[in-house]
Chain A
Amino acid sequence: MSDTATWEPVIGIEVHVELATRSKMFCGCAVSFGEDPNTNVCPTCLALPGALPVTNGRAIEWITKIGLALNCDIAEWSVFHRKNYFYADLPKNYQISQFDLPVCHDGWLDVDADGETVRIGIERAHQEEDTGKSLHLGDGGRIHAATETLLDFNRAGVPLVEVVSRPDIRSAVQARAYAQTLREVIAELDVSDARLEEGSIRFDANISVRRGPNAPFGTKVEIKNMNSFRSLEKAVDFEIKRQIAELEAGGEIVQETRHWDEESGVTTSMRTKEGSSDYRYFTEPDLVPLVVTPAWQEEIRATLPELPHQRKARYIDLGVDPQTAGALGSADAMLRALFEETVAAGAGPRSAANWITGEVVAWMRREDVVGIDVEASAIAEMIGMIDANELSTSAAKDVLDGILRGEGGARQVAESRDLLQMTDTGAIESAVDAVLADNPDAVERYRGGEQKVVGFLVGQVMRATQGKADPKAVNGLLREKLS
């Protein structure tokens, strides 16, 4: 049996983000998906003889924005390189990319996984261009049995930002959390649709294992074709186990690229060309260097929105508990705005956050709606009534339902649905007295040492008062009278 306790997985994640600019990275063709094949092409992105690239300035602004959001240093001076390799979907048979002088470097991202927060280093983020799409006709659409390749170059030249993490990730759960958190940040910046299902964000993982945290790094394997966060976690998990099993059996890990097969739940070796890739990088002579001055960086920094982790920190400062703060930080804009408004209307942040991320979200899910039209003041009012003991927690859920259905403000709904907690101490006392009188054997048992029986008695009082008595007050009164 493999002893996974001694093995430490070492994982790095590479992310490709398609930027949602209007036009391509190096030409004026539209960036648009789902179009008929080869309708957004021009001499440059088709690599016709004599064509030349010209850099899309907005893409440079946006990669800088991404870098700043990921806490990177922005290189004041960077250049493009040609990455040379032949492939059917790469019209020039080189990709314009960046080699040793990327726009962004040395950043980090804090990620919550398994109950702890880890800081994952980001080595670099660089600018490059996407390739065309190939369809392999033949058996089942897989490369290996194809009879013909069909090429669509609409996607060729779309701006791509590649973000490379340091190998700081230590588990499949962390890997997934990193990927999700990164996607969230990117989506927040409004520079990409960042949808995994659509391919506007893509993840590859580099995985190796070593015997303990101080051992030298093992041979790493690249895993591709993980098309959902769930499959990313499964693939990373599988690969870690595969490598451990291989090494424990005395085998060796081959440095290669493997393909995640979602159906069979395994990674398989991709047919590699003999000889490793020699990309023969050299500075792109058709383009001039990129200069992102400190002044321009500051201009771009000023356009950064509040990011999820910043929001979370702010909520925690307000008194929201960390887990709820995290959930709220990642919630969609409508819910976050509701929170802000509810607090502005006088509700305590902690309660507001709990109610919005809890009951409101649950209600939306049950009713299968994506948006709600609700007055924040009504929720604030409801929370105020709970604090004043006018509503029990369970009654409040009912009131919330009414608020969300548009039945009115908190008090209005509470009254019309008869949910107000009984505050008349006299009435509560009468109810308590009545229950005590009706349950002499319970009283006996309590006085005989069975403290727990008070729960039953509280329940009886709640029943007698149609749930409107404040259970805490009832409990207190009962104990007083029983002692």
Chain B
Amino acid sequence: MGLADLTITDAAAGLRSGAHSSLDLTEAVLDRASMTEAEIHAYLTIDRDAALGAARAADAELAAGEDRGTLHGIPIALKDNMCQRGVETTAASQILAGYRPPYDATVVTSLRDAGAVLVGKANLDEFAMGSSTENSAYGPTRNPWDPGRVPGGSSGGSAAAVAAGSALGALGSDTGGSIRQPGSLCGVVGMKPTYGTVSRYGLIAFASSLDQIGPITRTVDDSVALLEGITGHDPRDATSWAGDYPDLRSEIDKGVAGKRIGVVTEFAGEGYEPAVTESLSRTLDQLSDAGAEIVEVSLPTVELALSAYYLIAPAECSANLARFDGMRYGLRVDGETTEEMMARTRAEGFGPEVIRRILLGTYALSAGYYDAFYGQAHKARTVLRNEFAAAYEKVDVLMSPTSPTVAFPFDAKSDPLAMYLSDVCTIPSNLAGDPAISVPVGLDPQGLPIGVQVMAPAMAEPMMFGVAKTIERLAGFDARPTMLEELA
């Protein structure tokens, strides 16, 4: 255990008590990175000098009494699909190799304003498309719990860094589960906020109506702290909520007595590993003992959620990725005409999963197919939302496993469809736009982490955090990846 293994909450307390400085924290995190990166490759870029500079600045400010809050001086990693001015931002794609944005994403500005220390850009599945980070054009990230296995995806680098201690917290993005699923596979807390509560300005878009940026942290308290730093209305994002935001901390210690918890019956059965099912059952028993009422809830339309998602997300991404054409930035492969140049650049610059989804989306939108595919998927989405809303009349939160399986070996899911099934529990919340969180509760017999998912209605983050914190406390999960024990 070292400074790199502190929670944000404890690290922040230590900064103020004088136990350590931001420079100490940042150096510890950077050291941990240098010890683990060869093995796990969580990062694409580590901004060492900038991080140390920011740490020193944070220390100076804190010493002068300028306290910016919990995140002040805390080393945080950013998924490499978030634009950071002057820093290479690739979305893990060859098509953006060497690209340095001339502007900061709003969340980056927010973190800077909060005094956070930005450590570097974390690896991901290319353009956030994937569930294992195997689709990165710069090599995969390896799970710190077992480097022969995937960390999950698409925010695999962010989750691995937090699990390994090469960041105290990280931002990921979640379109179909890309924060929660790697959180579960890496034994850390991953949370997706209500759609519209965190600005998407500067997030390299995958599926505009589904993408949300969210925190990846070691504890639920840390999740709240990091989320507080990035929520809020952004006039640069027209889908950003301009109304009131709840006090995220307001119900964190409320417990679950009297809460009605709905277990989604569809998220069980074939395809779910026994240890995963067992972990959820155990968690529900603990919650019941703590005073919650557990009920079974059926949401029949979630069976179609995967299908709807794999029409809506590719359709939106096919348009969002059209701008990568070799004209104004990024890779250019020459051609005799503009058309040739664009088509060659894109074919060479995009990886296979990205190409697959662009083609899928283009097809789903094309003349003659729109109504049956994309049009229908959008209506299915409305039906699903209505079903969730009806469920929340009867229960306060819904629960399920986060992922049907624990971390799987590399190349285990070479069939695209098999990979897509990893997201079956997480996708519905993206379609609904509702918040959800994955909390690590235990290990399977192989020592691989398992997470459970809590889903809540829109803007009900405070209550959701309260339930999540109870789960965390009752689970008492304090295991660490073996690789960390083996470090000097």
Contacts and interface: CB of A to CB of B under 8 A. Distances in A.
Interface of A: 43, 46-55, 82, 84, 86, 88, 91-94, 149, 151, 278, 280-282, 285-288
Interface string B219-246: 0000000000000000111110000000
**Residue in B82, B91, B235, B322 with the greatest tally of chain A CB atoms within 10 Å:** B322
A50 B322 contact: no
Contact of B89 (A43, A49, A53, A285): A49
B362 A92 contact: no
B315 interface: yes
A52 B101 contact: no
Contacts of A282: 315-316, 319, 365, 370, 374
17 contacts: A48-B102, A48-B329, A50-B200, A50-B202, A52-B236, A53-B238, A54-B236, A54-B237, A55-B238, A84-B365, A86-B339, A92-B319, A278-B367, A282-B315, A282-B374, A286-B205, A287-B238
A149 B205 CA distance: 28
A285 B312 CA distance: 11
A285 B103 CA distance: 22
B327 interface: yes
Q: Is the interface of B mostly helix, strand, loop or mixed?
A: loop
Interface of B: 81-83, 89, 91, 96, 99, 101-103, 105, 200-205, 207-209, 235-239, 315-316, 318-319, 322-325, 327-329, 338-339, 342, 362, 365-367, 370, 374
A49 B367 contact: no
A84 B205 CA distance: 16
Nearest to B95: A49
Nearest to B328: A46
Contact of B208 (A49, A86, A151, A285): A285
B334 to A, nearest CB: 12
Nearest to A279: B367
Given A43-B103, A280-B362, A285-B239, 15 more contacts: A49-B91, A49-B99, A49-B323, A50-B83, A54-B236, A55-B238, A82-B319, A93-B325, A94-B322, A151-B327, A278-B366, A285-B316, A286-B208, A288-B238, A288-B239
Contacts of A51: 201-202
Contacts of A92: 319, 322-323
A46 B102 CA distance: 12
A93 B208 contact: no
Contact of A84 (B207, B322, B327): B322
A402 B99 CA distance: 72
Q: Is the interface of A mostly helix, strand, loop or mixed?
A: loop
A39 to B, nearest CB: 14
B338 A88 contact: yes
A47 B105 contact: no
B101 A48 contact: yes
Contacts of B325: 86, 93
B105 A50 contact: yes
Nearest to B104: A50
A47 to B, nearest CB: 4
A94 B237 contact: no
**Residue in A52, A53, A54, A93 with the greatest tally of chain B CB atoms within 10 Å:** A52
Contacts of B238: 52-55, 286-288
A280 B237 CA distance: 24
Contacts of A84: 318-319, 322, 365
B366 A50 contact: no
Contacts of A53: 238
B235 A149 contact: no
A49 B365 contact: no
A50 B203 contact: yes
Contact of A88 (B91, B202, B323, B327): B327
A78 to B, nearest CB: 15
**Residue in B202, B238, B315 with the greatest tally of chain A CB atoms within 10 Å:** B238
A278 B365 CA distance: 9
Given A88-B338, A285-B208, A49 B374 contact: no
**Residue in A47, A281, A285, A288 with the greatest tally of chain B CB atoms within 10 Å:** A285
A50 B365 contact: no
A54 B239 CA distance: 9
A91 B208 contact: no
List 10 A-B pairs, minimum CB-CB distance, nearest first: A93-B322, A280-B365, A285-B208, A285-B209, A47-B323, A50-B202, A49-B204, A50-B83, A278-B367, A54-B238
Contacts of A151: 327
A478 B367 CA distance: 85
A472 B374 CA distance: 82
Nearest to B330: A49
B181 to A, nearest CB: 23
A143 to B, nearest CB: 11
A447 B257 CA distance: 126
Contacts of A88: 327, 338
A49 B100 CA distance: 10
A49 B82 CA distance: 9
A50 B329 contact: no
Contacts of B339: 86
B171 to A, nearest CB: 13
A131 to B, nearest CB: 13
Contacts of B318: 84
A50 B101 contact: yes
